[in-house]
Amino acid sequence: MKNKVQLITYADRLAGDIPGLAALLGGSLSEAIGGVHVLPFFDPIDGADAGFDPSDHTAVDARLGTWADVRALGEQVEVMADLIVNHVSDASPQFQDFLRRGDASPHAGMFLTFGSVFPDGATEQELLRIYRPRPGLPLTAVTLDNGDKRLLWTTFTPRQVDIDVNHPQGQAYLRAILERFHASGVRAIRLDAAGYAIKKAGTSCFMIPETFDFIETLSQEARSLGMEVLVEIHSYYQTQIEIAAKVDRVYDFALPPLVLHALFQADAAPLARWLAMSPRNAVTVLDTHDGIGVIDVGADAVTGRPGLLAPEAIDALVETIHVNSAGQSRQATGAAASNLDLYQVNCTYYDALARDDEAYLVARAIQFFAPGVPQVYYVGLLGGVNDMALLERTHVGRDINRHHYDADEVRKCLEAPPVRRLLALAAWRNAHPAFAGEFRLLPAQPGHLSMVWTQGDSQARLDVDLAARIAVIAQEGGPAGSPARWVVAGPDAAR
């Protein structure tokens, strides 16, 4: 993955389809964006979970284009795609054949059942030990056409049937997807929901030692095909550090809430502590297609070890988001709006910051200087606000931050001064050689944050005053024409 700002987006919700996305990346965004993670573009994109429940993971939804279009996009920028390792849609041909034919189906072994994990049954304590990010047990009863009943493992929803990744049929299914990606020029994959892929009796069934073995084996197979692997895990911060040592790349999911805390409280200390030890092989984010996570800065649910933020600080963080968004995030979070993700607040990052342009640009400057490769969500790139109309139509909490843009909206957003400033910052970050060098966190006064990148004679330094919401860059050896001192955000910022 190039050390340049990456875009994460749905093809249809930003540009209509994959060729449209290629045109946008080759035009207005060519200097600001160095690679793109195209969120599920498989058939279909509008199932029960916005594409994360494909019926055919090896087919492009015809409404978005073809594999030839994916290859053409990959010839322009590096493309990342999702490998949804944990589950498949109950509408998939494989599962439908299993429903019709039962154990006679050639796909019968592909689906994980209660009995395959607990052949001798399970105690109450064993069931309660299972970790799931949603209420209830991850099990759904189904009746086959012949009348037989099965208790299937369904970690996320009853429409998403878990794959037995240890069974030859499950392994063949995943291998076919990797080969399809390779043939179509995909350069990186994200292992979606990989932490839940291995289930073992007597464990939490989440990020157990066997999970690491599975991730490593699958990653080796992907690397043999020339693809880098990003692992998506929401977990306790020390666990995330341990995971990072064993994989190509991880997300820095602790960064979004820590940056918000820093700006809300004018308190840089928790963020600075994290930046001093955060994984250097991270993909940094502020916003994603999911919500703003808080589990990543909380205490360890198993051992009770303290988190990066105290419980009262997390409560204040969440409440401030609700206040800043005029209560809109409250309507899309927790038990509201059919939202089942207990550890996330659903809100655009711009609304979480009360639509304050300077605070938003301070946050992006911190992200772009944090260790790792920065990734920007399409709604955040365009300074998007909460889509309450979409939330009202779908009653799905995460849709508040999944707006469908038309071409005219995109054009207007790209002309907005805050977005132009963000794109200029991204283009500068992509072109400055210092970001290929060494990162240091510098001593700073309370309420301030200072970071510097150095490579040879090139240097880029960021100084932030959190209370005043001012961010200043000082640089040497930067892109031609860039100033030695640049006020990125604050009263004196260039607009």
Distance CA 38, CA 245 (A): 26
Given the residues 192, 252, 399, 465, select the one marked as catalytic.
192
* 232 classed as catalytic: yes
Torsion angles phi and psi, residue 400, rounded to 5? -60, -25
Q: Which of 232, 252, 399, 465 is catalytic?
A: 232
Is 78 a known active-site residue?
A: no
- Active-site residues, by number, are 192, 232
